[in-house]
Amino acid sequence: MQNKTKISVAILAASAAFFTSLEIHEGYSAKPYKDTGGVVTQGIGSTVKPNGQSIKMTDPPITRKTAIDWAKTHVAKDEVVFRKSMPGVKLSLVEYDVYLDFTYNFGQANWNQSSMLRNLKAGQYVAACKSLLKWKYVAKKDCSIRKNGCYGVWVRQQERYQKCMEVQ
């Protein structure tokens, strides 16, 4: 059974399970490539280097260790803004990891405008989990349709939803 205890997001941080899941879902690529949305990406889903520069297709390959370091640096920076977006909200560590993973994947701007965040601020935890399933589009393609070439995005959303609902 998952721990359902909710505590202030101000004192939560990404778990080891978060980083393991991130690498599984994002994969590792030494060389830059364009992701499903056409964004140049490298390492473990990184779209920017730790210095803030965007990844370019002409960038040299990086090692797995560098990719992990970049992801950890990126998440550490993102967590500051992520936590500030939820003053007074309490989450379980599982929920925190789920929504942080969403933010890593879809971006802080999308998180800030999401019904997930609005529902969490209103104390509507089940509705926030359900809102994850609204995010099934990439580059105007419905990823819940397998032939659209982005089905993995939909699978990942369903996994986030399941994890979230298990702790409600």
pLDDT tens per residue across span 35-91 = 988 999 999 999 999 999 999 999 999 999 999 999 999 999 999 999 999 999 999
| Strand 90-91 relative to strand 7-8, pairing | antiparallel
Q: For residue 1, what pLDDT is reported? A: 44
pLDDT in tens, 91-111: 999 999 999 999 999 999 999
Q: Where are the domains of the chain?
A: 7-166
Domain 7-166 fold is Lysozyme (1.10.530)
- What is the CB-side half-sphere exposure of residue 64 using CA atoms within 13 A? 5
Joined together, the tokens standing for residue 30 give 């030494």
The pTM of the full predicted model, rounded to 2 decimals, is 0.94
Question: What Rg value do the Cα atoms of the chain yield, rounded?
Answer: 16
Q: For residue 2, what pLDDT is reported? A: 61
pLDDT cut 70: percent of the chain above it:
99
Taking the C-alpha atoms of residue 60 and residue 62, their distance in angstroms, rounded to an integer, is 7
pLDDT of residue 17 exceeding 60: yes
| Residue 104, phi then psi, degrees to nearest 5 | -60, -40
DSSP letter at 57 equals T
